[in-house]
């Protein structure tokens, strides 16, 4: 289950300090978008990327809404936060809409990610190629295990967490990911905040304390499986149902083969 620390006002995930007039406009635009809409924009973007890969240039609101498991009226309302989009009777330009959503989510500026905890989950995250495609570059890995420090994971050499502060500054990191055992999660979170990071994602189910200016996302994989268990039990009772339960607990018509780790 993904949870979000509520900062002062709704802020799109990944929004950090902006540079230049266009970036400032993007931040201002994002702050006007409700958090529920931000979550759906990420789903729209994922589908638009798939459509682009298939060579599609135009998509109707009905087609996009169906692929994302939402109503077309809700989709049109969500996209209205981005300004004028699409042509009545024609549809949305796939490339143009992708760029508008990427800008609203702050992805057009790119993000530099550091990860703490190079166990099995950490290695899987570090090796996931989809992050780069979506604007997230993994720039550093950290751990405390002497058997791991100095080893290589892909193109990165694992560093000791004692070097976290200086490395984050040198690498201009914008997002920190916690993939450590639960008992170390808060200490690592504190270190990331002390290093100046304002966006943190934790794969620990432990509730973490962060300052108001820090945006925290918590991904609880076990909770996601519990939701799938509920869906499975319900579908066994109603085999004709095609609904699944999303992270928000709201029924969705998204395909069942979605990945929790890969956003």
Q: What is the pLDDT of residues 204-215, one digit of tens each?
A: 989 999 999 999
Domains contained in the chain, number: 3
Residue 179 domain-assigned (yes or no)? yes
CA distances from 197 to 89, 172, 201 (A): 45, 9, 11
Residue 2 domain-assigned (yes or no)? no
Nearest-angstrom CA–CA distance, 165 and 9: 28
Statement: residue 260 has pLDDT above 70: no
Residues 129, 215, single domain; the answer is yes
The count of C-alpha atoms lying within 13 angstroms of the C-alpha of 202, restricted to the half-sphere facing its C-beta, is 28
Q: Which of 11-20, 79-88, 126-135 has the lowest mean pLDDT?
A: 11-20
Taking every pair of C-alpha atoms in the chain, what is the biggest distance, in angstroms? 62
Statement: residue 40 has pLDDT above 70: yes
CB 178 within 8 A of CB 201: yes
Residue 3 domain-assigned (yes or no)? no
Residues 70, 137, single domain; the answer is no
Q: Given phi > 0 = left and psi -120 to 50 = alpha, else beta, which region is 8?
A: beta
Nearest-angstrom CA–CA distance, 62 and 73: 9
Residue 257 domain-assigned (yes or no)? no
CA distances from 35 to 40, 89, 96 (A): 9, 29, 22
CA distances from 51 to 37, 54, 104 (A): 21, 5, 20
Please indicate if the annotation marks 120 as binding a ligand. Answer: yes
Digit-coded pLDDT (tens) for 225-254 = 888 888 788 777 765 545 544 544 444 444
Please indicate if the annotation marks 117 as binding a ligand. Answer: yes
Q: Average pLDDT of 19-44?
A: 63
Residues 236, 201, single domain; the answer is no
Please indicate if the annotation marks 119 as binding a ligand. Answer: yes
Residues 207, 125, single domain; the answer is yes
């Amino acid at each position: 289950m993904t949870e979000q620390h509520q900062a002062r006002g709704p802020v799109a995930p990944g929004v950090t300090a902006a540079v230049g007039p266009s970036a400032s406009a993007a931040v201002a635009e994002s702050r006007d978008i409700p958090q529920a809409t931000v979550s759906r924009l990420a789903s729209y973007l994922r589908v638009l990327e798939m459509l682009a890969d298939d060579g599609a240039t135009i998509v109707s609101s009905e087609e996009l809404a169906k692929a994302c498991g939402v109503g077309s009226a809700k989709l049109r309302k969500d996209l209205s936060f981005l300004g004028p989009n699409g042509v009545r009777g024609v549809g949305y330009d796939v490339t143009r809409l992708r760029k508008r959503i990427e800008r609203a989510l702050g992805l057009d500026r790119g993000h530099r990610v550091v990860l703490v905890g190079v166990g099995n989950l950490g290695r899987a995250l570090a090796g996931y190629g989809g992050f780069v495609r979506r604007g997230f570059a993994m720039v550093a890995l950290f751990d405390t295990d002497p058997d791991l420090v100095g080893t290589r994971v892909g193109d990165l050499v694992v560093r000791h967490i004692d070097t976290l502060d200086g490395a984050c500054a040198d690498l201009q990191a914008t997002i920190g990911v916690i993939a450590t055992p639960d008992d170390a999660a808060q200490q690592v979170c504190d270190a990331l905040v002390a290093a100046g990071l304002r966006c943190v994602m934790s794969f620990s189910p432990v509730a973490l304390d962060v300052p108001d200016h820090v945006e925290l996302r918590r991904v609880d994989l076990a909770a996601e499986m519990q939701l799938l268990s509920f869906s499975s039990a319900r579908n066994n009772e109603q085999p004709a149902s095609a609904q699944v339960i999303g992270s928000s607990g709201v029924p969705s018509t998204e395909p069942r083969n979605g990945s929790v780790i890969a956003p």
